[in-house]
Amino acid sequence: MNRKENEPEVAIFAGGCFWCMEEAFERLPGVIEAIAGYTGGWVENPTYELVSTGETGHREAVKVIYDPSKISYERLLEIFWKNIDPTDPYGQFADRGEQYRTAIFYLNDKQRTLAEESRRRLGLSGIFDEPIATEILPAREFYPAEDYHQGYYLTFSEHYKRYKLYSGRLGFIKAVWEENRRFRLFPERERYWLGWRKPADSELRKLLTPLQYAVTQLGVTEKPFQNEYWDHHEEGIYVDVVSGEPLFSSLDKFDSGTGWPSFTKPLEEWAVVEAEECEGFLCGREVRSRFADSHLGHVFEEPTPTGKRYCINSASLRFIPREELRRYGYIAYERLFRQNP
């Protein structure tokens, strides 16, 4: 029987304490409901007290009911992996025992394939030193937990926040994923910068160095010959340091002798926005990124193959090496380098 259009779908994940996993999923646009419960064991209609013995075979889990037209199963997998310690085979953080072991319970072949592929990609990412211990298992009967466990992160918010902090989960997530926040398990399905929204100024000041902030937000020009990329020759692409949107390619970079990174053209025609900028009687063309609206530099008419030289501040850029394009979600640009071995 074929699934009806717009019919909700179900995913089941065990990620240790179900309070934390319910919060992780229920806040996502496209998720209709996340239900805390028990699954994977052999005891019918288990209670919290029974499952807590670790002798029922059940694990604490969440049943995620979602609208596939608004959020994909791949995205749910990404959220799952980024809210657990996938290398722990004995539980999660302060919670030890069979009932807290992690698993993805698949309901069909498509979910199994995607789950296995996501685990493989995470293992190859180099983010974790230890092997991935999370199991991928066929779904079994799911039993909703007692009412007081449902929406616990909202009903008992203060206790929940303390638990998440002192259990070690919150610190682990921040330590691992703030450093690897651009990592995507399925980058070819997600150009995250297209939906990027500029954070508050106070947040930008935390995310950027003082020089990066001054250049991208205030239009300051960095010093020539004393910046990161003016004489950089590695193959790859340059992206906006704020949003990650792709801007320029090393294939179009050349040494202009000016002391700043120079390019003959943007990576895509739409990648940058040019605006007239005047100071006194002098006028030039300022270059800004399209989505983050970051100040990048200026463009000049010069005898290059395109008739233009894009003179860009290094502080407005982040470099993605050719071999890292797939990992960080820029798979579409691998073709540029396949055509230019």
What is the distance between the alpha carbons of residues 100 and 147, in angstroms, rounded to a whole number? 20
* CB burial of residue 286 (10 Å; 0-12, 13-18, 19+): middle
Radius of gyration of the chain (CA): 24
What is the distance between the alpha carbons of residues 273 and 269, in angstroms, rounded to a whole number? 9
What is the distance between the alpha carbons of residues 136 and 106, in angstroms, rounded to a whole number? 7
Short-list 81, 8, 326, CA closest to 189: 326
Instruction: Tell me how far CA of residue 193 lies from CA of 75, 196, 198, 271, 318, in angstroms.
Output: 15, 5, 10, 11, 14
Tell me, what amino acid is at 58? H
CA dihedral 235, 241, 244, 246 (to 10 degrees): -50
Q: Is there a catalytic annotation at residue 17? A: yes
Number of CB atoms found within 10 A of residue 238's CB: 26
Tokens (6 digits) for 230? 């003016």
Tell me, what amino acid is at 263? F
- State the residue for tokens 């502080």: 315
- Per residue, the 3-state secondary structure of 91-140, as one string, reads EECCEECHHHCCEEEECCHHHHHHHHHHHHHHHHCCCCCCCCCCEEEECC
**Neighbouring C-alpha atoms within 13 Å toward the C-beta of 96:** 1
Q: What are phi and psi of 71, to 5 degrees?
A: -150, 140
Residues labelled catalytic: 17
